[in-house]
């Protein structure tokens, strides 16, 4: 399985660290003594560009030239390098270790920044320019992803036009979709992303969808089967369109209102906060497990949208044998699918 590692500067270095001659902090040395992660676990290390996560000791006034308000760029770069050292140690079994630098930078206006100066596409490119070398210096198997916008392919293209591609090994985003995923134009969007990578990076690179999902509660009422059906069909489209990794949002519910019910699991905490000691599965958890077991190791070969306007499907291949997945988004029906002479 995949997970998101979420290093946050103000969490990891609340006080200014004393670096040794190699730039390694005491916290980093301690983490390097800990055992690595099991080899069945894969991770994406996701930094952010948000000013709120700069620790107090490293802050200065935010300006148009310094949107994050970082006092000394070298201190940020040292933190990034130390985080990459730890990530390399923890996930040494991964042939390539993905890193994301920005987090939904297209929403870094009032949504994240609160007040001006607001983040721009140019700031995203400059942020990668200033941060990526610190990662590559310590992790020669780093795979740099970005810009991880919240959808908005036009924003991604804007950053690529400004030169972001020179720092990227893959493209990542949070690709939330329509209530009926088949109506969200997802195949065309993935095709456009691949076309952009060929145009601006000079090659086709892997696509990572590191956050998307559906909440189960709508207008105060749970639609648990509906959530499961939407998420499984969405995941099928992601797999069928060749997305390298798709991470569902979220593992468990994290609020008491509709917007807090994104989880694959119920959260038994009275306030449904981010610290449950135990979880209770929703139907989507079982549905996702079964779907994963059926499609694990199967590589996409072609779509089947031509067989019927009301049917979506894909042909996958595993062990030189076809695996066929079909679904109907709008109603229950019997599907008759010709497969030729089979034993």
Partners of 307 in beta bridges: none
> What is the structure's pLDDT at 254?
94
pTM equals 0.94
Segments in the chain forming alpha helices (H): 9-12, 26-32, 73-90, 121-138, 153-161, 186-200, 224-240, 283-295
Q: Tell me the angle at which helices 121-138 and 153-161 cross, rounded to the nearest 10 degrees.
A: 70
> What is the structure's pLDDT at 111?
66
Q: Tell me the angle at which helices 153-161 and 186-200 cross, rounded to the nearest 10 degrees.
A: 0
Encode pLDDT of 148-165 as tens digits: 999 999 999 999 999 999
The answer to whether 175 and 184 have CB atoms below 8 angstroms apart is: no
> What is the structure's pLDDT at 338?
80
Q: What span, in angstroms and rounded, lies between the C-alpha atoms of 47 and 267?
A: 26
Encode pLDDT of 127-152 as tens digits: 999 999 999 999 999 999 999 999 99
The answer to whether 312 and 196 have CB atoms below 8 angstroms apart is: no
pLDDT for 112 beyond 90: no
- Across the range 212-237, mean pLDDT stands at 96
């Amino acid at each position: 399985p995949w997970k998101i590692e979420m290093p946050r500067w103000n969490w990891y270095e609340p006080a200014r660290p004393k670096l040794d001659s190699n730039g390694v902090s005491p916290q980093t040395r301690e983490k390097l003594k800990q055992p690595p992660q099991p080899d069945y676990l894969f991770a994406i290390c996701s930094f952010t560009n948000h000013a709120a996560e700069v620790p107090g000791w490293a802050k200065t006034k935010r300006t148009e030239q310094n949107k994050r308000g970082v006092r000394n760029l070298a201190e940020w770069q040292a933190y990034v390098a130390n985080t990459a050292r730890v990530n390399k140690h923890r996930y040494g079994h991964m042939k390539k270790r993905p890193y994301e630098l920005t987090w939904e930078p297209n929403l870094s206006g009032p949504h994240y920044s609160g007040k001006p100066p607001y983040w721009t596409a140019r700031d995203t490119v400059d942020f990668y320019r200033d941060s990526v070398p610190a990662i590559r210096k310590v992790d020669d198997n780093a795979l740099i992803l970005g810009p991880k916008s919240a959808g908005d392919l036009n924003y991604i293209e804007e950053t690529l036009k400004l030169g972001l591609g020179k720092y990227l090994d893959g493209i990542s985003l949070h690709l939330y979709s329509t209530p009926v995923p088949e109506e969200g134009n997802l195949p065309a969007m993935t095709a456009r992303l691949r076309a952009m990578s060929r145009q601006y990076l000079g090659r086709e690179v892997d696509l990572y969808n590191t956050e998307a999902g559906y909440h189960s509660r709508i207008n105060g009422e749970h639609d648990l089967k509906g959530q499961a059906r939407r998420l499984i069909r969405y995941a099928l489209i992601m797999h069928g369109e060749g997305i390298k990794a798709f991470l569902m949002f979220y593992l468990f519910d994290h609020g008491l209102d509709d917007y807090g019910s994104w989880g694959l699991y119920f959260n038994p905490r009275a306030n449904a906060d981010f610290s449950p000691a135990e979880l209770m599965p929703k139907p989507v958890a079982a549905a996702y497990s079964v779907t994963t077991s059926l499609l694990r190791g199967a590589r996409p070969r072609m779509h089947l949208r031509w067989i019927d306007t009301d049917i979506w499907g894909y042909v996958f291949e595993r062990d030189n044998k076809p695996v066929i997945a079909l679904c109907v988004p709008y109603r229950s029906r019997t599907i008759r699918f010709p497969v030729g002479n089979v034993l």
